[in-house]
Structure 1
Amino acid sequence: MSERKSDISGWLVRPASWHLWAVLGAVLGAAVARTARLTSDGGMDNAIVVRAARVWLAGGSPYDDPHFLYLPSAVVAAAPWATVPRGVLSVLVPVLVAGCLVGGWVCALRLHGVAPRSRFAALGLIGLAAGFAPFAHLVLLGNWTATAALALPLAVLLVGRGRWVAAGLVLGAAVALKPLLAPMGLLFVFARRWRALAWLAGVPAAASAGAALLLPDPAGFLTRTLPFLLRGDDGFVRLYEASPLAVLPRAGVPAALAALLAFGMAAVGVGCAYRRWR
C-alpha cells in the first residue's frame, strides 16, 4: 500500500503535459465565456461596485444603494471600470477574477512546496474550476472576493518566509477593496508584529479616509452600510449571511441576550485562534 501511494505521489509531482494545460485552458475559458455571455458589467457583484462608482462620478452618493457593502476606497478603485464599455467589462472582469483565483492556487501550492507546473497543480485547478461551485460563482458574479482569495495565500506565504511587512501590505490592500480579511490582523497581534499590523490597518484606513473625503456622504459606510449588515435579511442579503445580532432575535432570543451570545461567540473564536497559534 505504501509503495502504491509513493507511486501515485511520484506521478502527481511530475511536470504536467501540454494536454493537461490545454484542458485547464479550455475549462477556464469556458467559465469566462459563460460569464461574458450571461452577464453585463462582468457579473452582478462587480456591477454593484461599478454602478456605485458611476453614481459617484455623476455627483451622487454610492451609499444610496443599500446593497453597496464596500469601503469608500472601493469606490475610487472601481472608478476606472466605470469608464470601460460594458462589452469589454463582461470579458475583462471574469478574466481578472479567474486570474486572481489561479494566482491564489499557485501561492497555496508554493506554500506547501508543490511545483506549480506539476500534474497535481494542473489537475487540482481543473477540479476546482470544473467541480467546485464557489470557484464558478466567483467568476460568474465578478465577485471582488477573488482579491481576498489571492491575498490570503500570498500573505501566508510571505509570513512563512518572514516577510511580515509585505504580508501586511498585501492584506491591507485586499481589505481596502473588500474587508473580508480584516480578522487576519489577529495573526499579527499574536505574533506581536506591530509594524506589519500598522501597515495592514493603515493602508485601508488611509485609503478609505481619503476616498470618503471625495464622497458627498463621507460617513455613509458607518451610517448606512454597517446598520444594514447588522439588521440582515432584506431579500438580497440573506439571513444566514447576516450578523448573529440579526439572526438570534429573529429566533426569539431577547436582544440583550443575543448581544451577549454574539460577543461571547466572537471571544471563543479569538480564543481558539490564539490556542491554534500557540
Structure 2
Amino acid sequence: MSERKSDISGWLVRRATWHLWVVLGVVLGALVTRTARVTSDGGMDNAIVVRAARVWLAGGSPYDDPHFLYLPSAVLAAAPQAMVPRGVLSVVVPVAVVGCLVGGWVCALRLHGVGLRTRFAALGLIGLAVGFAPFAHLVLLGNWTATAALALPLALLLAGRGRWVAAGVVCGAAIALKPLLAPMGLLFVFAGRWRGLGALVGVPVVASVGAGLLMPDPAGFFTRTLPFLLRGDDGFVRLYEASPGAVLARVGAPGVVAAVVGFGMAGVGVGCAYRRWRGGEGEDGGAGASRIVETAVMLMLSAFLVSRPSYDHYLLVVVPLLVAGAVGRGPWLWMAMVPQLPGVVWPGLEAVERRAFRDAVTLCGVAVTVAVRCWRAGGSFSPPPPLPVPSSRGSAPWTPAPQTPEGLNRADPF
C-alpha cells in the first residue's frame, strides 16, 4: 500500500486518527440532537407511519390517511412506536436513522474492499453528513427510506458472497417496511437466482397478507394507496417530487410528454443495467464489487426516474455505494451532487417548495453518470464469470478488488 504524501489515495487509505472519529461523532450527534429538539414522533414522515399505527390500534383503517404509502406490514412494525411517549421517539428515531445510514456506509466499504479504520471511511461519512443535503433531510424527516439505505448495501454484500437467498430475505424485509427496493427483483432475474427472488417476493407478501388480515380494510393498499400513487395528483406531494415527469409537469409540459420522458429514461437505465450485468468484470468492467453494485444502482435510479413520488432522500440508497466505489473516483458524480450542497442559495430556487428542481438535476446527473459507466463497462455481451457460490461450510469469502495503485481498494478490510 502506497502512503506517499503526493498520493491522495495512499493518504486516504492510511489509518484514521482518533481526531477524525471525534469529528464524525460530533457531526452525527449534532444531527440527532437538532432533530430531537425540533420534531415529535421522530420526524414528520415517521409520524405518518406512527399515526397510522395508532389509528389501527384504535380500530380504524391506517389507509384513511392518503399519505400513508406503506404496505400493511409496516403498520405492525410501527405499532411499538405508537405505545412509546413522543419525547422518547424524538430521540430514538433519529438515532435509528443515523444508525441505518452508518450501517449502509460500512457495508458499502466492505463491499468495495475499503478498510473500516481508514481516513476515507471517516471522511467519506463526514462528507455525506455535512456536504450532501439529503442526509440531514432524511434524519430530520425520520423517513423509513433509511431501512433501504441499510438493506441494499447489506444485500449486495451477501449476494457478492454467493448468499443470494439471504440477500433476497434482506431485500424482502426492507420492502415489507417500505417498497423502495422492489426494483431489486430484476437483479435476481438477471442473475438467474430464482430462490433468492422467491425470498424477495415471499417475505413482504407473507408479512403483508398476515398484517392485512388484522385490519378492518385489508385491501386498502390496493384500493386507496396504489390509485393515489398512479394518479400522482396530490398537491402537497407534487411540490417535492424529483422525478423528471413530475418536474416537467410543473413547468407546463403536457402530461403525456412528461410520462414518455420519464419512462423512456427509465427504460434506457434498465437496458444499461442489463448490459453492465452481461459485461461481467472484464478489462473494461472494473473489478471486485463493481459489476453487482453498478447494476443494482442503475436499476434503483431507473425506478427513481419514473416513480411517483420520488424524493431527494431516495438518493441515500445509492450514493454511498457510488462514493465508496469506482464511480466516486471520477468527477461526474461530484458535479451531479453540487446542487445538494447545504447553504448554497440557488437563484429562483430558494423556496423549499422549489427544491425539487435541484433534486431533479442531481437525480438525472447521477443517473446519466452511472448509465455511461454501465454502458462502457458492459463491453461485449460475453458470458460473465460466475459469482461465488456457497461452500459446504457456509459461503465463499468475498474477494476484494485487485490491489492497484490507482484506487482505494488497496486497503486491507478491517
TM-score by length of 1: 0.91
Note if contact 1:229-1:242 (Cα within 8 Å) is conserved in structure 2.
no
Deviation at 1:269, TM superposition (A): 3.7
Structure 2 CA distance, aligned partners of 1:258 and 1:34? 38
Structure 2 CA distance, aligned partners of 1:198 and 1:206? 11
Structure 1 CA distance, aligned partners of 2:221 and 2:197? 23
Percent of pairs with identical residues = 81
Which residue does the alignment assign to 1:198?
Answer: 198
Structure 1 CA distance, aligned partners of 2:31 and 2:269? 36
Structure 1 CA distance, aligned partners of 2:228 and 2:68? 10
Which ranges of structure 1 fall in alignment gaps of 5 or more residues?
none
Which residue does the alignment assign to 1:252?
Answer: 254
Deviation at 1:243, TM superposition (A): 9.4
Distance verdict in 2 for CA 1:37–1:116, change over 3 Å: same
Note if contact 1:212-1:218 (Cα within 8 Å) is conserved in structure 2.
yes
Distance verdict in 2 for CA 1:198–1:34, change over 3 Å: same
Deviation at 1:245, TM superposition (A): 9.6
Any residues of structure 2 matched to 1:102-251 within 5 Å, and which? 102-238=102-238, 240=241, 244=245, 251=253
Q: CA offsets per residue over residues 128-153 of structure 1, 9 Å max, x none?
A: 11121111011000010000000111
Q: Which amino acid aligns with 1:180?
A: L
Deviation at 1:161, TM superposition (A): 1.0
Note if contact 1:173-1:203 (Cα within 8 Å) is conserved in structure 2.
yes
Distance verdict in 2 for CA 1:201–1:17, change over 3 Å: same
Which residue does the alignment assign to 1:42?
Answer: 42
Which ranges of structure 2 fall in alignment gaps of 5 or more residues?
279-414
Distance verdict in 2 for CA 1:90–1:188, change over 3 Å: same
Note if contact 2:45-2:141 (Cα within 8 Å) is conserved in structure 1.
yes
Distance verdict in 2 for CA 1:247–1:22, change over 3 Å: same
Q: CA offsets per residue over residues 63-118 of structure 1, 9 Å max, x none?
A: 00000000110000000010010000000000000000000000011111111111
Structure whose residues are more often helix by fraction: 1
Q: Which amino acid aligns with 2:35?
A: T
Distance verdict in 2 for CA 1:5–1:272, change over 3 Å: farther
Distance verdict in 2 for CA 1:237–1:27, change over 3 Å: same
Distance verdict in 2 for CA 1:235–1:45, change over 3 Å: same
Deviation at 1:251, TM superposition (A): 3.2
Q: Which amino acid aligns with 1:131?
A: G
Structure 1 CA distance, aligned partners of 2:263 and 2:53? 34
Deviation at 1:242, TM superposition (A): 7.0
Distance verdict in 2 for CA 1:98–1:258, change over 3 Å: closer
Distance verdict in 2 for CA 1:206–1:5, change over 3 Å: farther
Distance verdict in 2 for CA 1:242–1:209, change over 3 Å: farther
Q: CA offsets per residue over residues 213-268 of structure 1, 9 Å max, x none?
A: 111111111011111111113232116357959976973355xx887776665544
Which residue does the alignment assign to 1:71?
Answer: 71
Which residue does the alignment assign to 2:95?
Answer: 95
